[in-house]
Amino acid sequence: MSNEPKNITQTSDFEVDSDDLHSVSHARLLKVVDAARVSLTALALLVGITILGTSADALAVYDATHVPAGFMLPLWPDAFDLRPTVALVVGSSILIIVNIVSLLFSRVQSLRGQTLIHNSLAVAAPSIGLVASIIAMTFFYSINASITVDTLQSWSCRWSDVVMMTRPHFGTICKQSKAGLYLSILLIPIEALIVGMGAYQMILERNVGKTSRVVMEQRKSGSPVPSSVRDVEGNQH
């Protein structure tokens, strides 16, 4: 009978250690997921900046070289649609803003401590970026597919083989337009992956919090020899 209380104590200690190890493993996994999410967010931010730079530069060149109707030998047609390029500029601008906010709440300790806002932004920010990328892509392809009205990409790529000593350098604008388009396509799976990681991180943080509370409660209520075991020993003597 004397071995029975010891077995109860060992079982209690084992349960606490098991929960503690479970919490540690979840915490390590949480760090890995958080680091991966932050890295992908930084990558999405850099891609967004590149899209904004190439698209905005193409628009700036157009504005600088476009002349009103009636001028001799215009470089650009009268029937011209800039909306696909504008869509890339707007979409990338939104994406840059939400990714900067997400990174701030992930890396600045005072902001990261606001758990509810931080967890919400981990999913909301990339979701907004994903929607913005999809809308920009849909808008770009729907207008760029037109056979009646030229866009910045269709016109510049049509004349990309023409060697020019001064702006607009159609070959360069064509490459910039294609780069912005392809990077925008690349952003869609990246943002979708960030959304998934953000949701998974929220679940992990919830599990780590629950496990930590259970371990703390067990440590507060338990001891090397729990009170229930001491009562059993007293009754036996």
Q: pLDDT per residue over 175-201, tens digit each?
A: 999 999 999 999 999 999 999 999 998
Distance (Å, rounded) from C-alpha 121 to C-alpha 98? 9
At residue 237, the 3 state secondary structure works out as coil
Per-residue model confidence (pLDDT) at position 97: 95
Strands (E), 29-89: 80-81
Q: What residues form DSSP beta bridges with 151?
A: 81
The structure tokens listed for 222 are 């338990």
Residues in the chain, pLDDT under 70: 1-23, 26, 69-73, 146, 209-237
Per-residue model confidence (pLDDT) at position 116: 76
The CA-atom distances, in angstroms, between 159 and each of 95, 164, 165, 169 are 31, 10, 14, 9
Per-residue model confidence (pLDDT) at position 142: 82
Whole-structure pTM value: 0.76
Per-residue model confidence (pLDDT) at position 23: 62
Per-residue model confidence (pLDDT) at position 26: 67
Per-residue model confidence (pLDDT) at position 60: 93
Distance (Å, rounded) from C-alpha 22 to C-alpha 65? 64
Distance (Å, rounded) from C-alpha 207 to C-alpha 205? 5
Tell me the domain boundaries of the chain. Answer: 29-227
